[in-house]
Amino acid sequence: MNEVQEQIYRAVDILGDALKDTLQYDRTYPATVTEIVDPLLGQYRVRYENSNILARSRSLSDKYRVNDVVFVTEPAVHCADVDTNFYIIGKVKNSALDAADITAL
């Protein structure tokens, strides 16, 4: 790269970093179900790092058990009229079968 190209590259990199810091985006991370709060409403208490979070299943037909590892999404824009802004979007797939899975076979 010549000097002009290098300067352009650095400028774009700086602008990209500054823009990234101001963007709002959903965050998704794995969490462990620690409590079934209300199965009819799809509400669960989950643990992520050192936080206990109330999360709601995106689909009421999806059921989770204590110790299931799930993906939880935190929307970038929170709704003030909703009691929880965290959503369980699915279970982390595990290659090992647990006892309930084996008895279901």
For 88-104, the pLDDT digits (tens) are 999 987 645 444 443 44
Q: Is 80 left (phi over 0), alpha (psi -120 to 50) or beta?
A: alpha
Cβ atoms of 52 and 72 closer than 8 Å: no
Domains of the chain listed by start with CATH number: 27-101 (2.40.50.140)
Picking from 54, 41, 62, the residue whose alpha carbon sits closest to that of residue 87 is 54
For 26-51, the pLDDT digits (tens) are 788 899 999 999 999 999 999 988 88
